[in-house]
Amino acid sequence: MGSTEGVFFLTGKDFKNAGSASSSLKGILEGMGIPPAIIRRVAIASFEAEMNTIIYAVAGMINYCITPEMITIRIQDMGPGIEDIELAMKEGYSTAPDYIREMGFGSGMGLPNIKRNADTLTVNSIIGEGTTVEFIINLAPGE
Amino acid sequence: MNTLPSIMLLGDIRDLLDAVVLARGEDMGMKIERAYCADLMSDVLAFSISNSLLITGLTNTQVIRTAEVATIKAIVFIQNKRPDIQTISLADEKKIPLLVTDLSMFDTCGLLFEKGLRSCSGLEF
């Protein structure tokens, strides 16, 4: 059994297209016949990570890899980096400016929402270089 | 006191809220079982459930993206907050009906609750 892989490129502050990569990813998963409840988890986690990149970074990309066992999503950005990852994982903690909050984001639920939907989540960040968020959602065949 | 949560038709919700339909007028026969209201899209992503109705005061395109990934069935904008044409056409493309009412968030939710519609929390009253 093979795997399906691909990449989407993201541009920082491109709010007009924010979410379109996760929307395309959702379409790909639907086309593969992945169960809707799994697709919802992948799409929500991917959308939060995509919004984080659009809000904070200059640019970024979403890599996806779908195998019969799992869906792996890696979002790499060229952004400011996260100073305290533990703090950023706390619900309600945010460094977003007001204009982001006015758009309905930046309420400090981004990383917590990714964690909530993922089976495993890894966040690596270097200040001044960027952040890589990788999450896996198991497809658990036979369950 | 123990009444089952009501299922409402989107057309009945439109009439109850005296709402104007901005997109997908053909979907007024859609059945709505649960509702969630928020202006924070991350809260919608965290706490809404599939196939629910979203009540919000935000009108940007991210609301439609949020609804799409969270599999929200339809959206009601409150206090006559009207989305722009890009938002409406994205909703149309994603087949998400849009309604707009003059009522406040509180009155919108109150009227729907009174008719038996319940939240995404699973709590019954």
Q: How far is A19 from chain B (nearest CA, A)?
A: 6
Q: What is the pTM of this model?
A: 0.94
Whether B45 sits inside 8 A of A113 (CB atoms) is: yes
Whether A15 sits inside 8 A of B62 (CB atoms) is: yes
CA angle, B103 then B107 then B113, to 5°: 130
- What pLDDT shows up at residue B119? 92
Which residues in chain A are contacts of B46 at CB distance < 8 A? 109, 112-113, 116
- What pLDDT shows up at residue A1? 64
- Go through the domains of chain B in sequence order and give each one's CATH number: 37-118 (3.40.1390.20)
B117 Cβ partners below 8 Å, 6+ apart? B5, B6, B8, B32, B33, B34, B35, B53
- What pLDDT shows up at residue A140? 76
Whether A23 sits inside 8 A of B46 (CB atoms) is: no
Say how many CB pairs under 8 Å bridge A and B: 77
Which residues in chain B are contacts of A51 at CB distance < 8 A? 62
pLDDT (tens digit per residue) in B34-45: 999 999 999 999
Domain encompassing residue A55: 4-138
Q: How far is A127 from chain B (nearest CA, A)?
A: 25
Q: Which of B4, B2, B7, B18 is nearest to B99 (CA)?
A: B18
Residue B123: band (very low, low, confident or very high) from pLDDT cuts 50, 70, 90:
confident
SS3 sequence of chain B:
CCCCCCCEEHHHHHHHCCCEEEECHHHCCCEECEEEECCCHHHHHHHCCCCCEEEECCCCHHHHHHHHHCCCCEEEECCCCCCCHHHHHHHHHCCCCEEECCCCHHHHHHHHHHCCCEECCCCCC
pLDDT (tens digit per residue) in A8-65: 999 999 999 999 999 999 999 999 999 999 999 999 999 999 999 999 999 999 999 9
pLDDT (tens digit per residue) in A82-95: 999 999 999 999 99
**Six token digits for residue A129:** 């270089």
Compare B125 and B89 and report the one with higher pLDDT: B89
Compare B71 and A102 and report the one with higher pLDDT: B71
The answer to whether residue A31 sits within a structural domain is yes
The answer to whether residue A93 sits within a structural domain is yes
Number of residues in chain A: 143
Whether A48 sits inside 8 A of B45 (CB atoms) is: yes
Does residue B4 register a pLDDT over 60? yes
- CATH at residue A119: 3.30.565.10
Which residues in chain A are contacts of B66 at CB distance < 8 A? 19, 47, 104
- C-alpha to C-alpha distance for A45 and A115, rounded to whole angstroms: 8
Residue B1: band (very low, low, confident or very high) from pLDDT cuts 50, 70, 90:
very low
Nearest to A109 among B46, B69, B71 (CB): B46
- C-alpha to C-alpha distance for A36 and A32, rounded to whole angstroms: 11
The answer to whether residue A94 sits within a structural domain is yes
Nearest to B63 among A16, A46, A104 (CB): A104
Which residues in chain B are contacts of A15 at CB distance < 8 A? 60-62
Q: Which of A16, A8, A27, A22 is nearest to A114 (CA)?
A: A22
DSSP chain A: ---EEEEEEEETT-TTTTTHHHHHHHHHHHHTT--HHHHHHHHHHHHHHHHHHHHH-SEEEEEEEE-SSEEEEEEEEES---S-HHHHTSTT-----HHHHHTT--SS-HHHHHHHH-SEEEEEEETTTEEEEEEEEE--TT-
- What pLDDT shows up at residue A117? 97
pLDDT (tens digit per residue) in A103-138: 999 999 999 999 999 999 999 999 999 999 999 999
Does residue B25 register a pLDDT over 50? yes
The answer to whether residue A143 sits within a structural domain is no
Does residue B125 register a pLDDT over 90? no
- What pLDDT shows up at residue B122? 81
Total domain count, chain A: 1
- C-alpha to C-alpha distance for A115 and A112, rounded to whole angstroms: 5
Residue A2: band (very low, low, confident or very high) from pLDDT cuts 50, 70, 90:
confident
- What pLDDT shows up at residue B118? 92
B16 Cβ partners below 8 Å, 6+ apart? B111, B112, B115
Could you tell me if B38 and B62 are in contact, meaning their C-beta atoms sit under 8 angstroms apart?
no
Query: How many percent of chain A have pLDDT more than 70?
Result: 97
**B84-106 mean pLDDT:** 98
